[in-house]
Amino acid sequence: MPSQDKDSYLFGLIGSGIGPSLSPALHEREADRQGLRCLYRLIDIDTLGARPEAVGDLLRAARDLGFDGLNITHPCKQHVIPHLDELAPQAEALGAVNTVVFAPDGRAVGHNTDVTGFAASFARGLPDVALERVVQLGAGGAGAAVAHATLTLGAGRVTVVDALPERAAALADSLNHCFGDGRAASAAPDRLADLLARTDGLVHATPTGMAAHPGLPLPAAFLHPGLWIAEVVYRPLETELLRTARALGCATLDGGGMAVFQAVDAFRLFTGREPDSAAMLADFAELSGAAGAHKQPATKQPDNGSAHEQPATKQPDNGSAHKQPATKQPDNGSAHKQPANK
């Protein structure tokens, strides 16, 4: 646990196309409320001309420069793992890290707050929906986190569909190992229409819908009013998927709550202090409204401090969140020692 004696912090976000991220403002505003000084820097691998595999070098540079912690987003959440000294149990189970805390002795400890962030947002925004059968589109770093969260929230079975079938199968195997046989399955993209015809809801965890990847992640004809739709993308807040689903009468959840609640959990890990989640939700509403008042560049891709992986199967035609206070939120866990491969 970080010392509460500190009154100034330096954080950063490593990822691709992160210019529009609201993570810096969310963390800096919460620090101000708590009487802390906080500087949050964006470390964009696109701007640096670096590949995702360079995340280890960036991590070491941040540690040497005195950073207290980092958020990690697409496409670095899995690449960062070999460069860490420890993993919290949840991050180890997921095989994905979105938060790195630098301990006083210099150890880099990896966590995943995407799981708790999505779970809190879902419980708040879609508290009463059926969860017996869920289809998830996307099996990357964000997909692994939200699938774990969905099963933790009580889903009976999650079927994972990904443009890379082997990645979907690997995630389903991992989920069955963690939650028990039969709780997860994988399916090829050509089965998506049939699956959605007889499922309760769809979790979307690919980058399609982001500013840099506009459009629908699946044909609009696959959607129907009996589905609920949960989105991971938050910039823009209303993706084409959510807009299309709402027009059909589907219950929908945008990616904003996940963005806020993962930041709430990351701030707690970084500082050892309890953040004001209600104030951070209000900050997000203000910031996202202000951002929406300006034309968003079509070339940049946002992020959560969390992330989104690879575009889905098809791109035709797109909807936001609602409802009530959070009820459930899984634990981040404490760290398990893992040897660093440097």
The set of catalytic residues is 77
What is the Rg, in whole angstroms, of the alpha carbon atoms belonging to the chain? 19
Gap between the terminal Cα atoms of the chain: 24
| CA dist., res. 153 & res. 250, Å (int) | 20
In degrees to the nearest 10, what's the CA dihedral of 203, 204, 205, 210?
Answer: -150
| CA dist., res. 248 & res. 226, Å (int) | 9
3-class state of residue 276 by DSSP:
coil
Is the bond preceding residue 302 a cis peptide, omega within 30 degrees? Answer: no
Distances (CA, A) of 199 to 53, 130, 167: 37, 9, 21
Q: Can you give 83-113 as a three-state secondary structure string?
A: HCCEECHHHHHHCCCCEEEECCCCCEEEECC
